[in-house]
Amino acid sequence: MATDAATTMDRDKILDPEAVADLIAQGHTIVIYQDCVLRLDSWLDRHPGGRLAIMHMVGRDATDEIEVYHFPATLKTMKAFRIGRKPPGPWLAYTPPPIRGGVYLRMEITPPQDCRENTDDESLCGDDGTISCGDSTAEASSDSEDSIFAESVLESSTISDVSSECSSLQPPRPPSSSSLSSGPADGKDKTEVSPFSTETQAPPFLSAQGVHAVNRRLRVLPVQETSIAVRPPVTPMDDRNFSTVADFTNRSVQHEIDRDTLVYPPVDPARQEAIVQRYRALHQRVHDEGFYECPYGEYAKEMARYSTLFVLFLATLHAGWYVVSAVFLGLFWHQIMFTAHDAGHRAITHNFVADSLIGLFVADFCCGLSIGWWKSSHNVHHLVTNQAEHDPDIQNVPLFATSPLFFNSLRSTYYDFTFVWDAVADFMVPYQRYTYYPVMGIARFNLYLLSWLHVLSAKSSALGRSTAWWIRPTEIAFMLCYWFLFGYCLLWRALPTWTARVVFVLVSHVVTMPLHVQITLSHWGMSTSDLGESESFPQRQLRTTMDVDCPAWLDFIHGGLQFQAVHHLFPRVPRHNLRRVQVLVREFCDDTGIPYTTLSFVDGNRKVLGRLQEMGDQVNMIIQCQKHMAATGESGLH
């Protein structure tokens, strides 16, 4: 009993940012959820959503991400990993997670001494002259304890509500003036901060001196000033005033950051905390109004549509109308993959096993595509949308480049692979505006390759250590069945000639092109800038995602992908409810001042093509400068 009491007491200790940074420096996987400090070391390789989804949240307050991606039953298990509590107030994470380049070094602990004799900074000294090093009791529990906690998550049949351990999801109160002010603890000289003022504000929760003091004590590398939002004027890029590709890339990236800071709310903590509170109130409203409830009647209509297309495919195939049959098969694939997307987000039954089986049947068996690959990639895409180094959905060099960061060669944290900028990229990217639609027409062939690479990779085999161990062998079996039915029974046995086979394959796959255009349409024309760790989850999603405006009767064509911005804010909401949630999101954007981008399908395509043209023009500029400097002998781009 004494041991249990001691463990409970230890898990209630306050772990300040210094203690958390020290734990991360030791290699622990620390994530903040509500007021809990979670250590996820033992869960990292067992997380059904993949280890990268957790690694991108290390050191950060991931409350919003955790809430919108997990169901209440899952949230109840979070307490098993709690090793302490965070201090009251917002968690200000100025250092990125290690996977995104954040550097955490061990906290320097020295014996008590009169620090006034050894430092000029008396702000680090206590009243008794000893060095203030934070809570020395903030130590993580042992690995064995963490493993026990993980096992309790997997084996316990009844788990008490997480609200007894961490703050439950409640309609947030509007930020009080006291929570949006800065100044001495005694209340003197406090300055009121208007959270939705367009004027630049200094961070209200931590003074600049305090930030530098923490950096000195933690020996954490300081972050870029863009994390503490200052709005510089946007100046046109000087096409002549650069000497290397790296210099040009840096200027181009900074130009985009400057452009975003003029359009979107500043990322100072006060403004972003106010946005977060309103977003949480919106999320509660989405819960309360029943938008998480799946309208199964709509899926009856979906099944009727899928069945009709499949029957038409078989009937025309039997009649010998092979091209028409290929069109109907392509339309069947196009439509049914929307349900795979729903199942991947557990938006149909809200049960992991049931939705996984639906996704496996639709994606792997009916379409030959790995739902496991899609989930592995898509989970990361949702968390780090449009970040060139981390989002696999925009890592398409040498065919496409939507960010100037690719010009320098770039290492993907998802693929653990360097996308080298070479002569092929120099040749292809300037023409990407023109190759966009042809490549989208054959993109499905690339998905076959990515699917098999995934199920044979370490990412998929890692599931063998989790409760989702059965997914990998099921995927392999279902995809083999697909190729037996499509490759052998249909192409080889049912079609009479090689010409008919080639035409059938090309037509059926090109017909799915609108799906691939729709997927890229939502993001490729939007910002790829990184505004720093202080930018809130909702603002980052709305800044990097675009919706497509269409009449309600055309929703079945887009399959919910026309509401990508809404979907990124609430990924588990069934797609048939997204149009109604869109009304609430518009109100939220009007209230917070975050631009909500929605364009027609045609204008959205123009925006994407414009972005591709912009990047292509920049590559052409670099190439022309390289040629000029090589011809004249001037030092410069190389």
Segment 511-567, tens digit of pLDDT = 999 999 999 999 999 999 999 999 999 999 999 999 999 999 999 999 999 999 999
Q: Of 123, 143, 164, which residue is a domain's last?
A: 164
Position 183 scores a pLDDT of 37
Segment 269-305, tens digit of pLDDT = 999 999 999 999 999 999 999 999 999 999 999 999 9
Whether 597 maps to a domain, the answer reads no
Position 530 scores a pLDDT of 95
Task: Categorise residue 173: left if φ over 0, alpha if ψ from -120 to 50, beta otherwise.
Answer: beta
Q: What percent of the chain has pLDDT over 90?
A: 67
Residue 113 reports pLDDT greater than 60: no
Average pLDDT over residues 105-114: 64
- Residue 237's pLDDT band (cuts 50, 70, 90): low
Residue 87's CATH number: 3.10.120.10
Position 177 scores a pLDDT of 33
> 432-441 and 443-455 helices cross at what angle (nearest 10)?
70
Task: Categorise residue 350: left if φ over 0, alpha if ψ from -120 to 50, beta otherwise.
Answer: left
Do 298 and 157 belong to one domain? no
Provide the pairing of β-strand 36-39 with 82-85: antiparallel
Residue 176 reports pLDDT greater than 60: no
Position 386 scores a pLDDT of 97
Residue 489 reports pLDDT greater than 80: yes
Residue 132 reports pLDDT greater than 60: no
Provide the pairing of β-strand 547-549 with 417-419: unpaired
Would you state the structure tokens that stand for residue 65, as one six-digit string? 């991400």
- 176-196 burial code (b ≥16 CB/10 A, e <16): eeebbebeeeeeeeeeebebe
Q: How much is the mean pLDDT over the chain?
A: 82
Distance between CA atoms of residues 591 and 535, nearest Å: 17
Element (H, E) at 276: helix 269-288
Residue 178 reports pLDDT greater than 90: no
Residue corresponding to tokens 């390759």: 449
DSSP β-bridge partners for residue 125 = 131
Do 154 and 297 belong to one domain? no
Position 632 scores a pLDDT of 79
Determine the distance from the C-alpha atom of residue 377 to the mean position of all C-alpha atoms in its chain, rounded to a whole number.
Answer: 10
Residues 6+ apart with CB under 8 A from 33: 61, 62, 63, 66, 78, 166
Position 572 scores a pLDDT of 96
Identity of the residue numbered 414: Y
Range of the domain at 383: 289-592
At residue 635, φ and ψ (nearest 5 deg) are -75, 145
Whether 228 maps to a domain, the answer reads no
Would you state the structure tokens that stand for residue 548, as one six-digit string? 């497509």
Provide the pairing of β-strand 82-85 with 181-182: unpaired
- Residue 211's pLDDT band (cuts 50, 70, 90): very low
Would you state the structure tokens that stand for residue 38, as one six-digit string? 């979670």
Alpha helix segments (H runs only) across 429-495: 432-441, 443-455, 458-461, 471-483
- Residue 245's pLDDT band (cuts 50, 70, 90): confident
Q: Of 164, 180, 208, which residue is a domain's last?
A: 164
**In degrees to the nearest 10, what's the CA dihedral of 455, 544, 444, 355?**
50
Please give the tally of structural domains in the chain.
2
Between 337 and 464, the more confident residue is 337
> 322-344 and 498-510 helices cross at what angle (nearest 10)?
40
- Whether residue 139 contacts residue 37, with contact meaning beta carbons closer than 8 Å, is answered with no
Whether 559 maps to a domain, the answer reads yes
Average pLDDT over residues 67-73: 92
- Residue 59's pLDDT band (cuts 50, 70, 90): very high
Cis peptide before 398 (omega within 30 of 0): yes
Whether 423 maps to a domain, the answer reads yes
Whether 259 maps to a domain, the answer reads no
- Whether residue 201 contacts residue 270, with contact meaning beta carbons closer than 8 Å, is answered with yes
Burial of 54 (0-12, 13-18, 19+ CB in 10 A): buried
**Count of CA atoms in the C-beta half-sphere (13 A) of 230:** 7
Whether 504 maps to a domain, the answer reads yes
- Residue 23's pLDDT band (cuts 50, 70, 90): very high
Q: What percent of the chain has pLDDT over 70?
A: 75
Would you state the structure tokens that stand for residue 301, as one six-digit string? 């209509």
Whether 311 maps to a domain, the answer reads yes
User: What SS3 state is found at 53?
Assistant: helix
Segment 347-378, tens digit of pLDDT = 999 999 999 999 999 999 999 999 999 999 99
Would you state the structure tokens that stand for residue 494, as one six-digit string? 């049912």
Q: Of 569, 592, 615, which residue is a domain's last?
A: 592
Residue 261 reports pLDDT greater than 70: yes
Average pLDDT over residues 109-127: 48
Distance between CA atoms of residues 259 and 266, nearest Å: 12
Segment 562-598, tens digit of pLDDT = 999 999 999 999 999 999 999 999 999 999 999 999 9
Whether 586 maps to a domain, the answer reads yes
